[in-house]
Each structure stands twice: as C-alpha cells, then as structure tokens.
Chains A and B, each alone.
Chain A
Amino acid sequence: GENVEQHPSTLSVQEGDSAVIKCTYSDSASNYFPWYKQELGKRPQLIIDIRSNVGEKKDQRIAVTLNKTAKHFSLHITETQPEDSAVYFCAARGYSNTGNQFYFGTGTSLTVIP
C-alpha cells in the first residue's frame, strides 16, 4: 500500500513569514492529495487539494505544489497569521489490495508567533 511521510513535525514561524510543509508518497498510482487543518479540539477541515493532472493550485494565501516524478507535494502558506496555528495533515489517495483509501501523514504542528 501507499506510505505518506510528512515533514517537519513541528514548525514555528513569525507572523507574516511563509510556512512550507512537505510530504512524500510511495505509490505512483496515487492521484488525489488533500491537505487538512485541525485546530485544537476540532475536526480536520479540508483547506486545499490537488489532483495528479495538475502541478500547482492556489487559494488566496495557500498553495499546493505536486511533483509526480519525485512523488512529493508541498503546502505553502504565505503571510502567516496567528489563526493559521494548527496541525496540518497531508494525505494521498492510494490503492491497497482491497481498493482505494486515504493515507495520511503524521501531521505538522504549526505555530505562528505574533
């Protein structure tokens, strides 16, 4: 099955700086890569996603890039704000011997320092 690795596990940035979180995956058949934000005590919320036929996608201050050859994808947050502080998870929809499922990274705890 798929294996998703996420780095770094913790990240601290000054307000206004950029934050980058990187994920790698192992299965070249994976074709959908969402990113979730989970604030303390709350449910994971989808913030952006990308499909394998696209190299980059932006939504205001958030962007995701995908390199299929290298099997990695990254989340970029610009002009960070204190409310961006949360745990971020990447995921890949991959294939196991029982069908397709989502494989998650272990999360990055982002702290934005005012």
Chain B
Amino acid sequence: KAGVTQTPRYLIKTRGQQVTLSCSPISGHRSVSWYQQTPGQGLQFLFEYFSETQRNKGNFPGRFSGRQFSNSRSEMNVSTLELGDSALYLCASRATGGLYTDTQYFGPGTRLTVL
C-alpha cells in the first residue's frame, strides 16, 4: 500500500496570510491526526478526524482548523498566520475497527515558514 502523503512539502507565507495543507491517508485508514512539530517542543497534537468528524482536539487556538472528506483525505487550515506557526506539520493515519489499531503511520510533513 502507498504510505501517507502530504502536499505541499514546503510552504513560505507571510504573517496574516492563511494556508491549507493536505493529507492523504493510507488506503483503508479512516482516522487522520495532525501534529505540529517544532524544535524543543516535540510533536503537539492538533486534532483527529474520523469519518469526516472531528473526534479530538488539542490545545491550539481557533485559527487552526481542519476537515476530512468522504475519501478520508484531510485538510488543515491555519488562518492569520503568525511567526510562531513556522513548523513541520505532520499528519498520521491509522486503521480503525479491529484489533491493534493504535499504530499511527506518519506522512513526510509540510514545512511551513512564516516570514
């Protein structure tokens, strides 16, 4: 099976702009989670989507939002970008509905730079 893919891989934006990132999970995986990775902070959970519904949300401001489509692809949107939003954004997918469905598979990430 093809792995998790993310587009674009790199983005440069300026403060105040908005950005949309995309994630395609492994075929058959219905859960997609998003993480922000910054040096020294590790991976911070943003939200998880399952069957087009947000089932979990981390401690991020409302400028961070997401959605999931019927084919399980997910998008993440950040509005009114701030310098501190510069990070690697990772998505991860996992199977659901069976035994040992805990394992998350990560995409390569989108490197967002805010100038």
Query: Given A49-B102, A101-B45, A102-B45, do A43 and B40 touch, yes or no (CB 8 Å)?
Result: no
A18 to B108, CA, bound (A): 29
Chain A residues with Cβ below 8 Å from B35 are 104
Chain B residues with Cβ below 8 Å from A99 are 48, 55-56
The number of chain B residues with a CB under 8 A from chain A is 23
User: Which residue in chain B gives the minimum CB-CB distance to A36?
Assistant: B106
Interchain CB contact under 8 A, B58 and A101: yes
A49 to B104, CA, bound (A): 11
Interchain CB contact under 8 A, B45 and A43: no
Q: Does B42 contact A (CB under 8 A)?
A: yes
Interchain CB contact under 8 A, B102 and A104: no
Query: Given A43-B109, A93-B102, do A106 and B42 touch, yes or no (CB 8 Å)?
Result: yes
* Binary interface encoding of chain B residues 41-56 relative to chain A, with 1 for a CB under 8 A from any of its CBs, else 0: 1111100100000011
Please give the distance in Å from A36's CB to the nearest CB on chain B.
8
Which one, A34, A91, A101, A107, contacts B56 given CB within 8 A? A101
Q: Does B57 contact A (CB under 8 A)?
A: yes
A103 to B46, CA, bound (A): 11
Please give the distance in Å from B15's CB to the nearest CB on chain A.
26
